């Protein structure tokens, strides 16, 4: 599930990528559809089921796909280590589906990175243009 930290990181990354000669495509897997009551939840369920049927939601798909003149990069955004008054939250980890998707990317020669901050993405951009 996409957390608020991951959503804000994705927004920051999309803004910063405007300076680079790449095309950034966010995945529909990170979409958030709020529902306040039972009727709205039923509508959201229908939308999500239709997207799955049409192949728009793929288990394990990365949050961003970056395309450049010389290659592509799949970026999975994960929560960084954080602390609050009560506890320490560990950094986000890949699900089994995300690990499988990463392996598929590696088999066909598409670069894949797990990013916890903008610096992780920026380091991985080399070679895309």
Domain boundaries, the chain: 4-27+58-124
Residue 1 has pLDDT above 50, yes or no: no
- In the chain, the percentage of residues whose pLDDT exceeds 90 is 20
**Alpha carbon distance 110, 127 (integer Å):** 12
H or E element at residue 106: helix 96-108
Residue 60, burial from CB neighbour count under 10 angstroms (0-12, 13-18, 19+): middle
Model pLDDT for residues 19-76, shown as the tens digit of each residue: 889 888 887 766 677 788 899 889 988 988 888 888 877 888 888 889 999 889 999 9
Could you name the CATH architecture of 4-27+58-124? 3-Layer(aba) Sandwich (3.40)
The DSSP line for 63-93 is: SEEEEETTEEEEEEE-PPPEE-SS-EEPPP-
The DSSP line for 3-48 is: -HHHHHHHHHHHHHGGGSS-EEEE-GGG------SHHHHHHHHHHH
pLDDT at 52 (0 to 100): 82
pLDDT at 5 (0 to 100): 67
**Alpha carbon distance 129, 73 (integer Å):** 11
């Amino acid at each position: 599930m996409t957390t608020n930290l991951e959503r804000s990181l994705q927004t920051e990354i999309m803004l910063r990528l405007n300076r680079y000669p790449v095309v950034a495509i966010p995945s529909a897997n990170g979409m958030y559809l709020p529902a306040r009551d039972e009727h709205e939840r039923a509508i959201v369920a229908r939308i999500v089921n239709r997207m799955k049927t049409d192949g728009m939601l793929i288990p394990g798909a990365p949050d961003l796909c970056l395309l450049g003149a010389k290659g592509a990069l799949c970026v999975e955004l994960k929560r960084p280590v954080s602390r609050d008054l009560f506890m320490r939250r560990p950094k986000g980890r890949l699900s089994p589906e995300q690990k499988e998707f990463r392996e598929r990317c590696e088999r066909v020669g598409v670069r894949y990175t797990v990013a916890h901050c903008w610096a992780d993405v920026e380091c991985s951009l080399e070679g895309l243009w």
